Chain A
Amino acid sequence: MRWSDLLRMSISSLKRRRLRTFLTVLGVVIGTASIVVMISLGLGLQQSMYEEVEQNGGTTSLTVTGKQANDMYMYAAMAEGEEQSDKYITDEVIEELRGLEHVKSANPVLNVSAIALKGGYMAYINLYGMSAEELESRNFELKPGGRLPDPDSQELELVYGNMVIQDFMEESTGKGYWETGELPDIDLEHDSVFLILDQDGYFASQDTVSAGMSEAAGETGPETSGQKKAPKKYVVRASGVMEGDGINDYNANSWSVFCDIDILKSCLQKEFRGRAIPGQPTTQSGKPYKQFVYTSASVQADDMEHVEELTTTIRSLGYDVTSNIEYINSMKKQFAMVQAVLGGIGAVSLFVAAIGIANTMMMSIYERTKEIGVMKVIGCGLKNIRQMFLLEAGFIGFMGGIVGNLLSLLMSVVINALVSGQSMGIGGSLSYIPVWLVGASLVFAVLVGMAAGYFPALRAMKLSPLAAIRNE
């Protein structure tokens, strides 16, 4: 028999019993929809995790750290029992990292703390110097009108995290947002602030009395020493501020300030000419190294699959590596479990629907015993009879799958609309239906239908043709 004929006969016998077909399909619709919606919730959670990771530097990024110049870090790290790397991250190392397999890009990151002054306010800020390419890859969401720092500019340009504003304290009282409950009246987007890189120098010049006392004897006077040591105040403007209000919209970059690494480097070198830059390692005699040492290197792998391999490679070179991959892997396991549980709940209803299909097919076979017998007598192959009933059951599954998917898409839209009304701190949507889920659930529904129809079909195949020509 031809497939087109088999299909036509199956569909016509489904059409013959419209109501029963409709009810059976309805069961599959509910089953499919519950599976798809449940899994879509799990996928939505996973999706928002990925988005969070993306803000944290993405799934393919690795942070490579070397030996830290600051002793404090060293002790902290050793207390945790981690192996401390004995190599510094220098330009040469960056080049070496770039040469590794699976590395898409490698860029240095320089992290210094600095003081920002504005009006009567003062803030300790965490300043990250990064290359333009690196800044680009961080995908900051800036407020309208904002842009990333211009690497060709002579001046430092800053990108503020949206929560940096909370760092500003009244200089006179030392009270910040947490004490006063009010955000300082500073417009970071448009106002320029004074940036002081040499914190020790700043305090030394501020507190002349203590400075004077601590100075070795022989200093001529506090004024001159203060004058001499007063560090340069850089007037800097913001090139952009991150999207989000200053209190609630936390993301991984909210508390940080970003600028171009080369400009920051040259500022530091100018500022601390002849002295050791804080955070830079020094030789035994307190002299700085010839090479500039970065805080860390940010490495992008070419693919998520290679992150782990790359991590091992870089570790074997003697550096510390942190990436999101471990976090992702553990989260992935959790989400797989969540999805399995949710999908399992949905699967129960599809299972019930499968029983419905089996029942419908059994009924249909009892009703059509005679017809099946006649077909066998006039030469319908056993295989064809089985195919006919399998097709019928599969078609029920197929229709249920299609309608069920449409229903779940609709439900997904409704769920997302309801949830987005409240801010739950979850990025993206709660329910997410990818194309593969639609396809897979459709195939699954058809398979379930056919599995449910298999034994009835087998039964139809084995029916004795004699039953048909027996005259009752």
Chain B
Amino acid sequence: MKSVIQVNDLYKLYRVGDSYVRALDGVSFEIREGEFCAIVGTSGSGKSTLLNMLAGLEKPTKGEVIIDGHHIEGLKEDELVRFRRENVGFIFQSFHLIGTMDAVENVALPLTFRGVARRIRTEKAERMLDMVSLSRHKKHLPNQMSGGQQQRVGVARALVSDPRIIFADEPTGNLDSHTSEDVMNLMKRVVQEQGRTLVMVTHDDHLAEYADRVFHIIDGRIVKIEERTGAAPRRKEREHESI
């Protein structure tokens, strides 16, 4: 299968006082097209830093991030914005919907940034909301919806621009376990149906079970890559050779 994301020897150093903290300490991996990957680690393990670098929100200290054949570690900020606009969808832990816009407008926002005409983007956003079963909440403002509903709007927004890759940062972090399950199932279903690549960051091992592959990260190193394929999860664990 074709690889969509390729990470080579990625380092990120933060300066704390006189010493440096290695948030990422030489990470290399590959994510294939259509895969659902989970990056699992405790807080402070560097998992969020890794996600930020994949999305071009942070610059690595060293190493390369190649997405769909393009190096993104050297891009300028406006080029990164364009890259995200064209290729990436985002799902946030605290939803981050725009409070003054109703569900349809929120979902249509990425299309607005692309300059899509109002009629077309509204149509598409409504289709997305139907897909995440929020047909009855199209005109609701975020504060009129429950957390689960808001996150489903978030999922719809991430998908509306047909991105190749979707990044999700603790997508269920602010939801109760029941709602979490709903949202996870929704995400998994959509990714499978539409063949998109999903990269999710979580600290919850249980949620990682939804993924095809799980990257365990501790202290900035990937220590283990779990792979499960097929309907019957087949566990194939192997130790990751750390560099």
State in angstroms the CA–CA spacing of A103 and B90 once bound together: 76
Instruction: Give chain A residues whose Cβ lies under 8 Å from the Cβ of B170.
Output: 471
A465 touches B82 (CB 8 A): no
Q: Give A284 Cβ to nearest chain B Cβ, in Å.
A: 94
- Asked if B96 is an interface residue, CB under 8 A from chain A, the answer is yes
Whose C-beta in chain B lies nearest to the C-beta of A13?
B100
User: Are A465 and B57 interface neighbours, CB within 8 A?
Assistant: yes
Contacts of A382 in B (CB 8 A): 77-78, 81
A381 and B118 contacting across the interface, CB-CB below 8 Å = no
Supposing A469-B169, A471-B173 touch, asked if A381 and B81 sit within 8 A by C-beta, the answer is: yes
Partner of B100, one of A2, A12, A466: A12
A380 to B161, CA, bound (A): 13
Query: Which single residue of chain B is at the shortest CB-CB distance from A374?
Result: B96
- Answer whether residue A1 sits at the interface, using C-beta atoms and an 8 A cutoff: yes
Closest to A376 in B: B81
Contact present for B113 and A381 (CB under 8 Å): yes
B95 to A, closest residue via Cβ? A374
A15: nearest residue on chain B (CB-CB)? B100
Q: Which residues of A have CB within 8 Å of B101?
A: 12
**Are B169 and A379 touching (Cβ within 8 A)?**
no
B84 at the interface (CB under 8 A from A): yes
B110 x A378 contact (CB < 8 A): yes
Q: Let me know if A1 and B109 touch, CB within 8 A.
A: no
**Distance between Cα atoms of A2 and B86 in the complex (Å):** 17
Across the interface, do B57 and A469 meet the contact criterion of CB distance under 8 Å? Answer: yes
* Contact flags B89-118 to A (C-beta < 8 A → 1, else 0): 110111010111100000001101111011
- Pick from A4, A384, A468: contact of B96, CB below 8 A: A468
Q: Considering residues A379, A380, A383, which has the most beta carbons from chain B within 10 angstroms of its beta carbon?
A: A379
B47 interfacial by beta-carbon distance below 8 Å: no
Chain B residues whose C-beta falls within 8 Å of the C-beta of A377 in the assembled complex:
55, 57, 84, 90
Question: Is B180 on the interface with A (CB-CB < 8 A)?
Answer: no
What residues of chain B lie closer than 8 Å to A5, measured between beta carbons?
112, 115, 118
Residue numbers in A under 8 Å from B100 (CB-CB) = 12-13, 16
- Evaluate contact between A374 and B114: CB separation under 8 angstroms: no
Contact indicator A2/B92 (Cβ below 8 Å): no
Q: Which residues of chain A have C-beta atoms less than 8 A from B138's C-beta?
A: none
Chain A residue at minimal CB-CB distance from B116: A2
A381 with B57, Cβ < 8 A, contacts A1-B113, A469-B96, A471-B93 known: no
Q: Does A375 contact B (CB under 8 A)?
A: yes
Does the CB pair A1–B169 fall under 8 Å?
no
CA of A389 to CA of B82, assembled, Å: 20
Whole-angstrom CA separation of A377 from B81 in the bound complex? 7
Q: Verify B78–A383 contact, CB threshold 8 A.
A: yes
Q: Does A271 contact B (CB under 8 A)?
A: no
Q: Which of B57, B89, B115, B161 contacts A2 (CB 8 A)?
A: B115
Whether A370 is near chain B, meaning CB under 8 Å from some CB there, is: yes
**In the complex, what residues of A have CB within 8 A of residue B89's CB?**
378
Inter-chain CA distance A252–B122, complex, in Å, is 73
Given the complex of chains A and B, what is the CA–CA distance between A1 and B81 in angstroms? 13
| Chain A hits for B92, CB < 8 A | 374, 468-469
Complex Cα spacing A466 to B14, Å = 15
> Which chain A residues in 414-435 approach chain B with CB under 8 Å?
none
Minimum CB–CB distance from B156 to chain A (whole Å) comes to 12
B85 contacts partner chain A, Cβ-Cβ < 8 Å: yes
Which residues, 177 to 191 on B, are CB-close (under 8 Å) to A? none
Measured CB to CB, the nearest residue on chain A to B82 is A381
**Is B9's beta carbon under 8 Å from chain A?**
no
Q: Which of B57, B81, B94, B117 has the largest number of chain A CB atoms within 10 A?
A: B81
Q: A12-B100, A374-B92, A466-B57 are in contact. Are A379 and B78 (CB under 8 A)?
A: no
Give the complex CA separation of A371 and B84 in angstroms.
16
B58 touching A466, Cβ below 8 Å: yes
The answer to whether B157 has its CB under 8 Å from any CB of chain A is yes
Alpha-carbon distance A198/B161, docked complex (angstroms):
102
**Any chain A CB within 8 A of the CB of B52?**
yes
Q: How far is the CA of A376 from the CA of B161 in the complex (A)?
A: 15
Residues of B within 8 A of A13 (CB): 100
Among B84, B94, B98, the residue within 8 A (CB) of A471 is B94
Closest residue on chain A to residue B121 by CB atoms: A5
* Chain B nearest Cβ from A12, distance in angstroms: 6
* Contacting residues, chain A, for B115 (C-beta < 8 A): 1-2, 5
Are B113 and A375 in contact, with the CB atoms below 8 A?
A: yes
> Using Cβ atoms and an 8 Å threshold, which residues of chain A touch B94?
471
B55 touches A379 (CB 8 A): no
Question: Chain B contacts of A376 at CB under 8 A?
Answer: 81
Minimum CB–CB distance from B111 to chain A (whole Å) comes to: 10
Q: In A453-472, which residues have CB < 8 Å from any B CB?
A: 465-466, 468-469, 471
What sequence of 0s and 1s flags, for each residue 40-80 of chain B, a beta carbon within 8 Å of any chain A beta carbon? 00000000000010010110000000000000000001100
Task: Determine which of A12, A379, A471 lies in contact with B114 in the assembled complex, contact meaning CB atoms within 8 Å.
Answer: A379
Query: How far does the alpha carbon of A1 sit from the alpha carbon of B57 in the complex, in Å?
Result: 21
By a beta-carbon cutoff of 8 Å, the part of chain B in contact with chain A is 52, 55, 57-58, 77-78, 81-82, 84-86, 88-90, 92-94, 96, 98-101, 109-110, 112-115, 117-118, 157, 161, 169-170, 173
> Can you offer 12 A-B residue contacts whose CB atoms are under 8 A?
A1-B112, A4-B118, A374-B96, A375-B113, A377-B84, A378-B84, A378-B85, A378-B89, A382-B77, A466-B58, A469-B90, A469-B93
User: Apart from A371-B99, A381-B113, what are 13 other A-B pairs with CB-CB below 8 Å?
Assistant: A16-B100, A374-B92, A374-B96, A378-B84, A378-B109, A378-B110, A379-B110, A379-B161, A380-B113, A382-B81, A468-B96, A469-B96, A471-B170
